[in-house]
């Protein structure tokens, strides 16, 4: 195992555990992956992060063959298809976090109630159509909901986000869950006042280089 592979496996395991510490996942729910060696490393199926080692992370190669001592996450096709559709995705996180899941069970898109919605690429965050977990239908629905976005809700399921790398994807997931909580709370007071198309366009423009490394922002 090369040093780069070992460090990436360790980072994937640490990210999976951090999802639990952040309240995004409980038990064996959720999964995470990172691009590697023409395919991707993904967390294993049915095993809590605290019970895993870095060697338990499965590698899905470019021919969809799984390598490792444990079966890959049942959602591995979801990760494969997002990587294929989105070259800008370096790492993907899927979680059953409380507020995102509550909204996903209502099957509602999140409108521009707050300008930070623009951090995920557009004027809103979509909820995908429902499909059974671990199926190609779910993968197709997720890819469609992510068009032009870096996050979406999966109907009656949870959240899905991607980032440039694992650290960025985890930060995106925490921020997304925070927005979901804020939207849930503001709906208790009534329908929120939404930002206009022009206002969101301005925010999106200002966010183009926000938080990006200097060499990527130039």
DSSP 141-172: HHHHHTTT-SEEEETTTEEEEEESSHHHHHHH
Residue with tokens 């995705």: 89
CA separation (Å) from 40 to 68, 165, 206? 12, 12, 32
CB 13 within 8 A of CB 49: yes
DSSP 63-129: TS-EESSSPBPTTHHHHHHHHHH-TT-SEEEEE--HHHHHHHHHT--B-SSSGGGGGGTSSSB-BPP
Q: What angle do CA 77, 145, 126 make, to 5 degrees?
A: 135
CB 73 within 8 A of CB 44: yes
Element (H, E) at 58: strand 58-60
Catalytic residue (choose from 75, 175, 199, 215):
75
Torsion angle (degrees, nearest 10) of CA 50, 21, 37, 133: 80
Q: 199 an active-site residue?
A: no
Residues involved in catalysis? 75
């Amino acid at each position: 195992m090369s040093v780069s592979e070992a460090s990436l496996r360790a980072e994937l395991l640490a990210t999976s555990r951090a999802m639990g510490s952040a309240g995004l996942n409980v038990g064996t729910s959720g999964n995470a992956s990172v691009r590697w060696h023409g395919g991707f490393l993904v967390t294993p199926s049915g095993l809590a992060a605290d019970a895993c080692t870095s060697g338990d992370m499965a590698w899905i190669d470019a021919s969809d063959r799984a390598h490792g001592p444990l079966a890959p996450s049942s959602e591995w096709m979801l990760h494969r298809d997002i990587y294929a559709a989105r070259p800008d995705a370096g790492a993907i996180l899927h979680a059953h976090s409380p507020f995102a899941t509550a909204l996903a069970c209502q099957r509602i898109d999140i409108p521009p109630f707050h300008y930070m919605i623009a951090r995920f690429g557009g004027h809103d965050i979509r909820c995908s159509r429902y499909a059974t977990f671990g199926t190609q239908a779910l993968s197709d629905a997720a890819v469609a909901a992510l068009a032009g976005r870096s996050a979406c809700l999966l109907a009656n399921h949870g959240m899905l986000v991607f980032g440039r790398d694992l650290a960025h994807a985890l930060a995106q997931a925490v921020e997304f869950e925070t927005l979901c909580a804020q939207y849930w709370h503001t709906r208790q007071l009534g329908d929120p006042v939404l930002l206009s198309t022009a206002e969101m366009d301005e925010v999106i423009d200002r966010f183009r280089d926000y938080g990006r490394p200097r060499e990527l922002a130039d």
